[in-house]
Chain A
């Protein structure tokens, strides 16, 4: 690996500085396993929407129960474990210290996996609180709180014992993740238990909806955005071997982002019974989120200036470019969809699903794959078993995302326009909702195709890692090179 004088990497090899890389490997493995499971369920529900017999006529395998399984698995299991592996790996190096307490790290790991397994059991059984992204029943909610507090204590104690004075921007993003998710989860989950599996939320009606979407939007903001921006700020300059474009931009966009995000939830409740001033507030705060979000994209892309020759050949950098670009795209689309008039067209349609997955597959997925591919040889000190597969994965994923999102945009626009179309007599031009739904089918099949391509890429990645770790493999040339630099 060439390194310019401006960006020497004095990072010492883990063996010498005694970082806890075992915990990183554990979260790494969990990430890949849950990634495959979660996206496989995504493909199954995509099939169910295109072809209903795939529901199998059983309650446990019906769309209504598998959909929350998909969202919980990809968000909390896949994306969550990515965040944890990246945080445990990068924060030790950024703070030049081992994690404060290894036992707490283990409790965090096993606790989190146990929560995921209990989610995977309870959701198909139909045990749910029916709040999107917060479906899990109250005993699991309590467990999440406990495990999160364990993580937070370890996290902040590690910051306290750091051996550097300056906190790198990635750490600020991680902090916003740890603090905000705790607050969101606890406030939104407050409920009165009635039985071991049933509880009633403390809030009712409109208050409940408002709290729910304050939570829901910031789950996107602080689970799928800020920790991943933190990861980007560590892994992108490391992989590109370039200095971060602008320190000042990173400060301004960080504070603007965390301040504005928290108010934007009501854009999920436009044209509802929510008082209109609150809707207006949610809308304008979403508009103001555009530039702070793009600040992250800019800092990512401009950091790659001077490395564009490598971007063309290095699949890891290619994944990062696509990730950051999709981040920019979905954070442009989001503020647009928050405008009342646009939301009136997009709401309840597949356009929202397209928006979700351009962020989820494009941004969260791609940046995660790049990090995993960059880390695996370094963590296990070996060459990747199939370096060429990384490029294949890149193309499968990129083309898969494009097919998925374009199909959903087309489907969403079609639905939105046909629902509201009026004929010459002033009546609905498409009176039958069922007819419009039936017209979606070709797009749903296309989405299945795009999603399947994406899943195949992830499975190839899993096999690649498996053979890298298990197979004979030769010692990596990359890792010692970094260590020696």
Chain B
């Protein structure tokens, strides 16, 4: 600020007595301004020329995670029902799902599992997919990020066991692959 002149401009009578100095812009301030401008140009160039994108970053992160935790990556959760799995699932259900889907799977904030209606399909594979991926627009979280693949299998077993008991569908029916033309089987 050595270049300060502290020379008055003489506007005071035009500004209710407020005087103004004719000082130059502080060097460091001007430097900062140029720096942010150059940085911005550089950032835009980097973003555009090296094909950056938020989708790309996401995919990179997922790929890195898949490599680091292969057991999670392959967790395409092959649904395998067993009475033990269902028993273990009861506890997971009580902790995470019960508040919305009801004490007896009857629904509430979330849908019921003891009727014949499935919005996203009632085959095991479809049910597991919804548990893992959620239905965020309706408030159903993606439990795949929270529960391990084994736990997803357990809680799915618990739900589908209850569903089978209430509706009379057999486990074989439930575990059959979904119909080709989409959900609603």
A binding-site residues for B, Cβ under 8 Å: 6-11, 90, 93-94, 96, 164-166, 168-169, 234, 237-238, 243-250, 252, 256, 271, 276-277, 279-280, 283-285, 287-288, 290-292, 294-295, 298, 302, 335, 340, 425-428, 431-432
Contacts and interface: CB of A to CB of B under 8 A. Distances in A.
A379 to B, nearest CB: 15
A234 B18 contact: yes
B11 A166 contact: yes
A94 B15 contact: yes
A425 B44 contact: no
A243 B20 contact: yes
20 contacts: A90-B16, A94-B16, A164-B13, A164-B15, A168-B15, A168-B18, A238-B17, A245-B21, A246-B22, A248-B22, A249-B25, A276-B47, A276-B53, A291-B32, A291-B33, A292-B33, A295-B29, A426-B69, A428-B145, A431-B146
Given A96-B16, A248-B24, A427-B148, 5 more contacts: A7-B12, A8-B12, A246-B24, A276-B54, A294-B29
B8 interface: yes
Across the A-B interface, the 8 shortest Cβ-Cβ residue pairs: A426-B69, A243-B19, A284-B40, A291-B33, A9-B17, A431-B146, A246-B23, A168-B15
A245 B4 CA distance: 9
Contacts of B146: 427-428, 431-432
A181 to B, nearest CB: 24
Contacts of A90: 16
A244 B19 contact: yes
Contacts of B14: 164-166, 168
Contacts of B44: 280, 284
Looking at chain A's contact residues, the main secondary structure is: helix
A210 B140 CA distance: 27
Contacts of B9: 247
B80 interface: no
A5 to B, nearest CB: 10
A6 B8 contact: yes
Q: Most chain-B CB neighbours within 10 Å: which of A8, A244, A340?
A: A244
A247 B8 CA distance: 10
B65 interface: yes
Q: Most chain-B CB neighbours within 10 Å: which of A291, A292, A294?
A: A291
Contacts of A165: 14
Contacts of B15: 94, 164, 166, 168
B68 interface: yes
A435 to B, nearest CB: 12
A284 to B, nearest CB: 4
A283 B43 CA distance: 10
B112 interface: no
A169 B9 CA distance: 13
Given A280-B43, A294-B32, A247 B65 contact: no
Contacts of A294: 29, 32
Contacts of B54: 271, 276, 279, 340
A291 B145 CA distance: 42
Contacts of B47: 276, 280
Nearest to A238: B18
B37 interface: yes
Contacts of B37: 288
Contacts of A340: 54
Contacts of A292: 33
A276 B30 CA distance: 30
Nearest to A8: B17
Nearest to A340: B54
Contacts of B50: none
Nearest to B5: A246
Contact of A427 (B1, B25, B48, B145): B145
A11 B147 CA distance: 72
